[in-house]
Amino acid sequence: MPCFCLRHDVDALVWQPRPDQPSDMWEHVATFNALGYVQASKRDKKFATCAPNFSYATLGECLRRAFIYRQPAPVETVLFNRKQGRQVGQVAKQQVASLDSDEPILGFRATNERLYVLTSGRLFVLKVNNN
Protein backbone atom coordinates (compact mmCIF):
# COMPACT_ATOMS: atom_id res chain seq x y z
CA MET A 1 0.00 0.00 0.00
CA PRO A 2 1.36 3.47 -0.82
CA CYS A 3 2.68 5.69 1.96
CA PHE A 4 1.99 9.35 2.43
CA CYS A 5 4.06 12.20 3.74
CA LEU A 6 3.04 14.94 6.18
CA ARG A 7 4.95 18.00 7.20
CA HIS A 8 5.78 18.16 10.90
CA ASP A 9 7.46 21.45 11.79
CA VAL A 10 10.38 21.59 9.32
CA ASP A 11 10.59 17.85 8.67
CA ALA A 12 8.64 15.54 6.38
CA LEU A 13 7.36 12.35 8.02
CA VAL A 14 6.41 9.32 5.93
CA TRP A 15 3.51 7.24 7.25
CA GLN A 16 2.44 3.75 6.20
CA PRO A 17 -1.24 2.86 6.70
CA ARG A 18 -1.82 -0.53 8.37
CA PRO A 19 -5.57 -1.22 7.96
CA ASP A 20 -5.11 -4.79 9.26
CA GLN A 21 -3.98 -3.40 12.66
CA PRO A 22 -6.86 -1.23 13.96
CA SER A 23 -5.15 -0.50 17.28
CA ASP A 24 -1.98 0.73 15.56
CA MET A 25 -3.27 1.88 12.17
CA TRP A 26 -0.35 4.19 11.20
CA GLU A 27 3.34 3.34 11.19
CA HIS A 28 6.04 6.01 10.92
CA VAL A 29 8.49 4.56 8.38
CA ALA A 30 10.83 7.44 7.49
CA THR A 31 11.77 11.04 8.20
CA PHE A 32 13.29 13.48 5.74
CA ASN A 33 14.96 16.14 7.85
CA ALA A 34 14.11 19.75 6.87
CA LEU A 35 12.26 18.64 3.71
CA GLY A 36 9.03 20.25 4.92
CA TYR A 37 10.86 23.55 5.19
CA VAL A 38 12.51 23.14 1.78
CA GLN A 39 9.34 22.17 -0.08
CA ALA A 40 7.46 25.12 1.39
CA SER A 41 9.95 27.46 -0.28
CA LYS A 42 9.55 25.90 -3.75
CA ARG A 43 7.04 28.08 -5.61
CA ASP A 44 7.16 26.08 -8.85
CA LYS A 45 6.94 22.63 -7.23
CA LYS A 46 4.73 20.24 -9.17
CA PHE A 47 5.86 16.80 -7.95
CA ALA A 48 7.14 15.30 -4.71
CA THR A 49 8.10 11.68 -4.17
CA CYS A 50 10.72 9.44 -2.60
CA ALA A 51 12.49 6.17 -3.29
CA PRO A 52 10.71 3.03 -2.04
CA ASN A 53 13.65 2.35 0.32
CA PHE A 54 13.52 6.01 1.57
CA SER A 55 17.16 6.64 0.59
CA TYR A 56 16.22 9.94 -1.03
CA ALA A 57 13.31 12.30 -1.60
CA THR A 58 12.87 14.44 -4.67
CA LEU A 59 10.90 17.50 -5.69
CA GLY A 60 10.14 18.35 -9.30
CA GLU A 61 9.30 21.76 -10.70
CA CYS A 62 6.94 22.56 -13.56
CA LEU A 63 9.88 23.05 -15.92
CA ARG A 64 13.40 21.73 -16.12
CA ARG A 65 14.56 21.07 -12.53
CA ALA A 66 14.50 18.19 -10.08
CA PHE A 67 15.87 18.54 -6.54
CA ILE A 68 17.25 15.39 -4.90
CA TYR A 69 17.63 15.21 -1.12
CA ARG A 70 19.55 12.21 0.21
CA GLN A 71 19.26 10.75 3.68
CA PRO A 72 22.23 11.43 5.98
CA ALA A 73 25.15 9.05 5.41
CA PRO A 74 28.30 8.47 7.48
CA VAL A 75 31.35 10.53 6.47
CA GLU A 76 34.65 8.79 5.82
CA THR A 77 36.84 11.54 7.29
CA VAL A 78 36.81 13.61 10.45
CA LEU A 79 34.50 16.58 10.01
CA PHE A 80 33.71 19.36 12.51
CA ASN A 81 30.86 21.85 12.73
CA ARG A 82 32.61 25.25 12.91
CA LYS A 83 29.90 27.01 14.94
CA GLN A 84 29.36 24.30 17.54
CA GLY A 85 32.83 22.74 17.53
CA ARG A 86 31.31 19.24 17.50
CA GLN A 87 32.40 16.38 15.31
CA VAL A 88 29.89 15.53 12.59
CA GLY A 89 29.24 11.85 11.94
CA GLN A 90 26.76 12.11 9.06
CA VAL A 91 26.10 14.44 6.15
CA ALA A 92 22.99 14.72 3.98
CA LYS A 93 23.64 15.66 0.35
CA GLN A 94 21.44 17.67 -1.95
CA GLN A 95 21.60 17.81 -5.74
CA VAL A 96 19.85 19.75 -8.48
CA ALA A 97 19.29 18.18 -11.89
CA SER A 98 18.63 20.66 -14.70
CA LEU A 99 17.03 18.93 -17.65
CA ASP A 100 17.97 19.87 -21.20
CA SER A 101 14.37 20.70 -22.14
CA ASP A 102 11.96 23.64 -22.15
CA GLU A 103 8.90 21.36 -22.14
CA PRO A 104 6.70 21.07 -19.04
CA ILE A 105 7.32 18.07 -16.82
CA LEU A 106 4.36 15.69 -17.13
CA GLY A 107 5.43 12.75 -14.97
CA PHE A 108 7.82 12.02 -12.14
CA ARG A 109 8.69 8.60 -10.64
CA ALA A 110 11.40 7.53 -8.21
CA THR A 111 12.84 4.04 -7.81
CA ASN A 112 15.64 3.03 -5.45
CA GLU A 113 18.27 3.59 -8.16
CA ARG A 114 16.75 6.01 -10.67
CA LEU A 115 14.53 9.03 -11.09
CA TYR A 116 12.31 9.11 -14.20
CA VAL A 117 11.15 12.49 -15.48
CA LEU A 118 8.70 12.64 -18.39
CA THR A 119 8.09 15.57 -20.72
CA SER A 120 5.95 15.56 -23.86
CA GLY A 121 8.98 14.82 -26.04
CA ARG A 122 11.44 12.93 -23.81
CA LEU A 123 11.88 10.56 -20.92
CA PHE A 124 14.84 11.52 -18.74
CA VAL A 125 16.39 8.78 -16.59
CA LEU A 126 18.62 10.05 -13.81
CA LYS A 127 20.82 7.53 -12.00
CA VAL A 128 20.58 8.47 -8.32
CA ASN A 129 22.06 5.53 -6.39
CA ASN A 130 24.84 3.15 -7.36
CA ASN A 131 23.85 0.46 -4.82
pLDDT band at 131 (very low <50, low <70, confident <90, very high): low
pTM above 0.95, yes or no: no
Contact 110, 93 (CB under 8 A): no
Query: How much is the pLDDT for 81?
Result: 87
Contact 117, 100 (CB under 8 A): no
CB atoms within 10 A of CB 87: 10
Q: What is the mean pLDDT of residues 83-101?
A: 92
pLDDT band at 130 (very low <50, low <70, confident <90, very high): low
Domain residue spans of the chain: 4-127
Query: How far, rounded to the nearest angstrom, does the alpha carbon of residue 7 sit from its chain's CA centroid?
Result: 13
Q: Give 56-78 pLDDT, tens digit per residue.
A: 999 999 999 999 999 998 988 88
Beta strand pairing status for 94-98 and 45-50?
unpaired
Query: How much is the pLDDT for 30?
Result: 96
Any bridge partners for residue 6, and if so which?
13
The answer on pLDDT for 18 being more than 90 is yes
Query: How much is the pLDDT for 2?
Result: 84
The conformational region for residue 9 under phi > 0 = left, psi -120 to 50 = alpha, else beta, is left
pLDDT band at 129 (very low <50, low <70, confident <90, very high): confident
Secondary structure E strands in the chain: 4-8, 11-17, 26-32, 45-50, 56-61, 65-70, 73-80, 87-91, 94-98, 105-110, 114-119, 123-127
Amino acid at 86: R
